[in-house]
Amino acid sequence: MVLAAICQQPDGPLPSVVRGLALAWIVQNVILVAGVFMRLKLYVDAYLLTQDRVYGGRLSLPVLAGYGFLVLRVLNRIGLLDLFRLNMARYASFLSDSVLRRAGWVAASNVDTG
């Protein structure tokens, strides 16, 4: 949110140095999220799938989407209000996720691969 507020410049386009630093920070965080996915994959390969591992992967996907939206904001492709709306849609996906039968899916996946 701080980065989105910094990018809200009323005087015109964002200075290229600030834009470059913002994009570098976003890339760094995307690499960290990629590390989370790699670690989850290694754990699933070694110890099978659990509900906690599914939750970890599921929670990382909206984070990646949020960084994608933030890139659009930094590049001045979308406005701050649009960024807010996209993030609200992303949060709404969590509500729809609560109705999934994750335990049955995890058990079936482990039986198929085990």
Q: Indicate whether 10 pLDDT > 70.
A: no
Q: Does 89 score more than 70 pLDDT?
A: yes
CA–CA distance from 57 to each of 18, 44, 105 (Å)? 31, 11, 14
CA 96 vs. chain centroid, Å, equals 17
Are the CB atoms for 49 and 106 separated by under 8 Å?
yes
Instruction: Tell the residue number behind the tokens 């198929």, with chain if given.
Output: 112
Instruction: Give the model's pLDDT for residue 30.
Output: 96
Which pLDDT belongs to residue 68? 92
Q: What is the percent of the chain with per-residue pLDDT over 70, rounded to a whole number?
A: 89
Pick the most confident of 30-39, 55-64, 92-101. 30-39
